[in-house]
Amino acid sequence: MTLPQSEISAGDAVVFDAVSKRFPASGGNTAFTALDNVSLSVARGSITGIIGRSGAGKSTLIRLVNGLEKPSSGKVFVDGVDVGALDEAGLRDLRRSVGMIFQHFNLLSSRTVFGNVALPLEIAGMDRRAIEQRVRPLLELVGLADKHGRYPAELSGGQKQRIGIARALATEPKLLLSDEATSALDPETTQSILELLRRINAELGLTVLLITHEMEVVKAVTSDVAVIDKGQIVERGHTFDVFTHSRHETTRALLSGLAGSKLPEAVARGLKPAAADGDRVVVRLTFFGAAAERPLISQLIQSVGAEVNIIAGTIDEIGGKPYGSLVVAYGADAETSGKAERFFTENGLVTEVLGYVA
Amino acid sequence: MSPDLLLRIGSATLDTMYMVAIAGLVGSLIGLPIGIFLATSGRGELFPAPNVNRAVGLVVNATRSTPFIILVVAIIPLTRLITGTSIGTKAAIVPLTIATIPFVARLVEAAIRDVDKGLIEAARAMGATPMQIVFKVLLAESRPALTLALTMTIVSLIGYSAMVGAVGGGGLGDLGIRYGYQRFMPDVMLVVVVVLIVLVQLVQSAGDRMARRFDKRSRKT
């Protein structure tokens, strides 16, 4: 299967067209399919996230973009250029126009901060004075101008990743690949690095393709997301839509780690798949846009009449849009449920029955 | 001890330093690229040539497992060809150099293999050529380990150079054998041993200090 022509647009920074990657058996390892017929496009100027558990194939996927890995079948296009058709020299040119940052930063311990950011420019054959002029503003951009003579060992994890980002931006790429860039950082540092990525995206118009296993990262910065599981894309779309209308169980499993999405332990344990007489139904309501601004709870209680329990809830922002999630319980009898469902439909709420409790 | 003997000890020390310096320099210059090749030519590495890699590895192992004293004797024809003689300080340099090459090659290989693979990937992602990766990443990052490898090479060479004394190679080992052992002059033997110990100490501590200066991996406060 190839991608329908309509889905390939000139505006896409990266296109994966029916890409598969198989690793043949070698040594004690059995053959392994890392990617299975993946088609995906990354819009220019977007921050696109690819999320999946470890071993889902996301590292392989991102490495196809700059040719660090080659697909077994299918094609990868970067800015309309078929990566697989490039020779070594062509690949090197491509790589100089695509920045990459890494989970473990991969800074040279023997070089200063300045020297690390200068490295890609030296590799590209730029002369010393031009390098000097390019590196200084980059260090200012990432907020580490005062550290230029320091060695990586003298910096914190967050500072190292800032250097990694400055280094990735040195050759003025149009595309930045982020390979679990915040996975080795604490939550606070993660947020500051994500904030930096967002700023770069907005100010430099850079397309960012990031892979992660953390929903927090996807939620905080991406405009689009693809969920990958066992080498296949199981869900994709605008981040807001995927979060609020997740269909695939992998997505839900990944989402369940987010604060406010989790049911209290006591409720989760008592959850039953079917209702008995006198049971209560547990429903997750997702509301956003205009619905997030109405006094829903009081209206719900008025229309349902019966008592409504609030079990869990959160109000958050995804891609700058307000988003709420509320888990409520009410009588599972036909009358109460009927009223509740009518109310949900009238108000355009997305609901999901989680189960029943006594 | 007579002034004449002291003079001999002095000149033997210079002979040893001369042999070690030349063999160390030439052996390292040849051993370094071989070591780099061994570390980068496996399957899926920078210069993939697994068969050549295995072949070179075999020769290196063979040379390393030949006892030095046998190597000295075995390559006498080669030594004659190069220096025109098979005895004396100049002649001793040939087997010393031959023995240094595989020694350096293996140490260099280990030092380079120790460089974080993530750095190679990062450099590839920047569009570096394999040669740029060798010079800008592998050699730069392994400089502390290479310095220690060179130190270890020189220390071993000082030991080997004493051994070539057994076949008339000149230097401190030669002096120790001829005067200390064959003429039974324990004081000469003692001085020879002490000078050797001092030489090794000096080389080792200078090497350690240099390696520490090159090593930027630990946080300095």
Q: What is the pLDDT of residues B124-152, one digit of tens each?
A: 999 999 999 999 999 999 999 999 999 99
Q: Which residues of B touch A151 (CB under 8 A)?
A: 216, 220
Judged against a pLDDT cut of 60, whether residue A8 lies above it is answered with: no
Residue B217, chain A, CB below 8 Å: the answer is: yes
Within 10 angstroms of residue A317's Cβ, the number of other Cβ atoms is 12
Within 10 angstroms of residue B54's Cβ, the number of other Cβ atoms is 11
Residue B25: closest CA among B109, B84, B111, B104? B104
Q: Is A237 exposed, middle or buried (0-12, 13-18, 19+ CB in 10 A)?
A: middle
For A24, which DSSP code? P
pLDDT tens for each residue of chain B, 221 residues long: 788 888 999 999 999 999 999 999 999 999 999 999 999 999 989 999 999 999 999 999 999 999 998 999 899 999 999 998 888 888 999 999 999 999 999 999 999 999 999 999 999 999 999 999 999 999 999 999 999 999 999 999 999 998 887 777 888 988 888 888 888 989 999 999 999 999 999 999 999 999 999 999 875 54
Q: Please give the pLDDT value at position A199.
A: 95
- Relative orientation angle of helices B3-40 and B50-65, to the nearest 10 degrees: 160
**What band does A257 get if pLDDT is binned at 50, 70 and 90?**
low
Query: Are B127 and A123 inside 8 Å of each other by CB?
Result: yes
ipTM rounded to 2 decimals: 0.88
Amino acid at residue number A57:
G
Task: Compute the Cα dihedral for A204, A206, A212, A215 and give only its sign.
Answer: positive
Residue B26: closest CA among B80, B139, B103? B103
Judged against a pLDDT cut of 50, whether residue A6 lies above it is answered with: no
Q: What is the C-alpha end-to-end distance of chain A, expressed in Å?
A: 49
Tell me how close the Cα of A65 comes to any Cα of chain B, in angstroms.
Answer: 10
pTM of the model: 0.86
CB proximity list for B187: less than 8 A, separation 6 or greater: B1
Query: Are A106 and B216 inside 8 Å of each other by CB?
Result: no
E-strand ranges in A105-231 read 175-179, 207-212, 224-229
Q: By three-state DSSP, how is residue B11 classified?
A: helix
Q: Which residues of A touch B219 (CB under 8 A)?
A: 153-154
B 137-196 residues with CB < 8 A to A:
137, 140-141, 143
Judged against a pLDDT cut of 80, whether residue A307 lies above it is answered with: no
Q: By three-state DSSP, how is residue A235 classified?
A: strand
Q: Which two tokens stand for residue B192?
A: 């020879």
For chain A, what is the mean pLDDT?
88
